């Protein structure tokens, strides 16, 4: 039922002239789903208050609550039973509906940002979401149909939320596959799950993603902790309120991330809408640091000079600035797993060499996972995952070269089975200081073996026969001339014999 409802909503958005891509579809679906979720949450809290003999104060004023503007209903007799149906005398549609949404609903909800006590409240999230998004649905008749489909989605049972979150993840994945700038929002979930298993966060630790995107890392970390922890009231409160933290710069990604976390069961996510790189890393104090950092920062971007001033190692490369931010944001003893473009390991510019030196000296970079090309659909780049622990310098690095035995891509995406051997080998080590297992795909290097000037960390598998290096045109011409001379000499010898 849920899957068909999502498909029906997408079909309607396709027909509307205001939403013209997967990015628009998920953005518009998100704000509608959020208000549908908020209605269920408010009704649930009102029911709980009534059982306690208390009165519940609704967050939204009457006219802006879902049952009054989106789905006013009336009892209709069908046979011997009464059912609730949309009251078409009260339900706005056409131009009236679009005008109400654009001119009244969105400004009213956006104002919650100023009214809220602090950013951790659901009220603040309401204000943030409706300050950042616009309604792009131009036809009030299409919007009316979408609202009716959204009204069918149940949010109360945990099984319903689980299925909805799964479908929402699928939409995020499709958005990435659709190209444009959608790929930045989606990191393959099998890779995220493998990274989390290796880092192994515990309840009570603070987990952070400063480039949160659709919050895939935080949602998967929530699932990982929830499955393994003792289900006490204290643990559940800690997991909900004091465990998962993120920052996201882009409007749409921020809203998608909030909605994704809500569907995974986190009522008021600790996600801040800000440019992480706008923060001066020299201002980061102990209270701002985290036990675990999991992230896939955007790469290929170029930051302005004024942003670069926030960092000790100046560079325009976004991912390199994020890496500095993450190192600074880790507590001593804290663990990190960061996806980064593989060229970071070998670039010879001063900033890259300095950053590798800083990483190796301030952290134990114990593992580098070399991912195959095609892991990130549409991205067309090769990536590695850096696993490190802050506080001790690196002495030994264990490399693992992932080879699923097939070409990766949209029709052959990464799966959990592909990651099994890496996870098994990485988690079997007694500590990050111990050398890892050596197989055809994995090997160790000592930091003392690195060339001091460049600190090149490129994966060079010693168990794979090296291919002969390509020859220069001069070498090829020289060999051709030698072969010609040998052939001529041989022909002369034959002539003499004849």
Q: Where are the beta strands (DSSP E) in 200-243?
A: 207-209
Q: d(Cα 99, Cα 147) in Å, to the nearest integer?
A: 15
Q: What is the pLDDT of residues 224-233, one digit of tens each?
A: 999 999 999 9
Res. 97: pLDDT tops 90? yes
Specify the pLDDT at position 319: 92
Partners of 245 in beta bridges? 208, 270
Give yes or no for a contact between 69 and 96, defined as CB atoms under 8 angstroms apart. Answer: no
Instruction: Output the average pLDDT for the chain.
Output: 87
Percent of the chain with pLDDT over 90: 57
Q: Which two tokens stand for residue 21?
A: 């891509």
Q: What is the pLDDT of residues 300-335, one digit of tens each?
A: 777 888 999 999 999 989 999 999 999 999 999 999
Give yes or no for a contact between 426 and 200, defined as CB atoms under 8 angstroms apart. Answer: no
Partners of 207 in beta bridges? 244, 292
Residue 339: which of 302, 369, 301 has the closest Cα? 369
Range 241-247 average pLDDT: 95
Name which of 33-37, 140-144, 251-255, 466-470 the model is least confident about: 466-470
Specify the pLDDT at position 182: 41
Q: d(Cα 337, Cα 78) in Å, to the nearest integer?
A: 59
Specify the pLDDT at position 92: 92
Q: Which two tokens stand for residue 462?
A: 């010693």
Specify the pLDDT at position 432: 80
Specify the pLDDT at position 491: 67
Specify the pLDDT at position 181: 47
pTM given for the model = 0.85
Most confident of 127-131, 138-142, 265-269: 138-142
Residue 242: which of 228, 222, 257, 256 has the closest Cα? 222
**Helix or strand holding residue 347 (H, E):** none
CB pairs under 8 A, 24+ apart, for 464-468?
A: 464/440
In 229-349, which ranges are continuous DSSP H helix?
233-241, 251-263, 305-308, 318-329
Q: What is the pLDDT of residues 157-188, one digit of tens each?
A: 667 777 778 788 777 777 665 544 444 557 88
Secondary structure of residue 442 in the 3-state scheme: strand
Res. 377: pLDDT tops 70? no
Give me the residue label for tokens 């970079």: 365
Res. 115: pLDDT tops 80? yes
Strand order in the sheet with 383-390: 270-273, 244-248, 207-209, 290-295, 330-341, 383-390, 363-370, 396-401, 442-446
């Amino acid at each position: 039922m849920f899957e068909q409802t999502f498909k029906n909503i997408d079909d309607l958005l396709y027909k509307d002239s205001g939403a013209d891509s997967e990015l628009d579809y998920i953005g518009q679906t998100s704000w509608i789903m959020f208000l549908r979720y908020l209605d269920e949450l408010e009704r649930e809290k009102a029911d709980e208050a009534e059982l306690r003999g208390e009165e519940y104060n609704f967050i939204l004023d009457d006219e802006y609550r879902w049952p009054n503007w989106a789905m006013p209903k009336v009892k209709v007799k069908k046979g011997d039973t009464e059912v609730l149906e949309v009251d078409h005398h009260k339900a706005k549609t056409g131009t009236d509906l679009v005008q109400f949404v654009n001119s009244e609903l969105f400004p009213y909800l956006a104002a919650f940002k100023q009214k809220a006590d602090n950013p951790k409240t659901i009220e603040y999230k309401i204000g943030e979401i409706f300050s950042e998004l616009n309604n792009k649905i131009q036809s009030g008749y299409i919007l009316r149909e979408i609202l009716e489909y959204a009204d069918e989605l149940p949010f109360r049972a945990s099984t319903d939320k689980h299925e909805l979150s799964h479908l929402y993840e699928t939409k995020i994945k499709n958005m990435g596959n659709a190209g444009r700038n959608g790929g930045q929002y989606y990191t393959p979930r099998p890779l995220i799950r493998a990274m989390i298993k290796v880092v192994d966060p515990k309840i009570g630790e603070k987990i952070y993603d400063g480039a949160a995107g659709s919050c895939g890392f935080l949602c998967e970390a929530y699932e990982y902790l929830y499955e393994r922890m003792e289900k006490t009231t204290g643990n559940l409160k800690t997991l909900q309120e004091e465990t998962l933290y993120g920052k996201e710069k882009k409007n749409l990604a921020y809203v998608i991330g909030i909605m994704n976390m809500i569907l995974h069961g986190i009522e008021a996510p600790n996600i801040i809408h800000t440019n992480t790189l706008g923060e001066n890393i020299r201002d980061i104090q102990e209270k701002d640091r985290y036990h675990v950092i999991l992230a896939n920062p955007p790469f290929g971007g170029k930051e302005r000079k004024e942003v670069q001033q926030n960092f000790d190692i100046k560079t325009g490369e976004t991912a390199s600035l994020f890496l500095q931010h993450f190192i600074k944001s880790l507590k001593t003893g804290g663990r990190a797993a960061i996806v980064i473009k593989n060229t970071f390991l070998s670039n010879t510019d001063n900033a890259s060499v300095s950053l590798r030196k800083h990483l190796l000296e301030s952290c134990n970079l114990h593992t580098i996972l070399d991912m195959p090309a095609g892991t990130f659909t549409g991205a067309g780049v090769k990536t590695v995952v850096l696993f490190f622990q802050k506080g001790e310098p690196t002495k030994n690095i264990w490399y693992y070269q992932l080879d699923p035995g097939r070409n990766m891509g949209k029709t052959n995406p990464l799966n959990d089975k592909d990651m099994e051997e890496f996870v098994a080998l990485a988690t079997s080590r007694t500590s990050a200081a111990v050398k890892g297992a050596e197989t055809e795909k994995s090997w160790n290097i000592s930091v003392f073996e690195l060339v001091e000037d460049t600190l090149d960390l490129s994966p060079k598998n010693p168990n794979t026969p090296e291919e002969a290096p390509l020859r220069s045109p001069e070498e090829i011409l020289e060999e051709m001339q030698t072969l010609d001379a040998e052939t001529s000499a041989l022909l002369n010898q034959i002539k003499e014999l004849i």
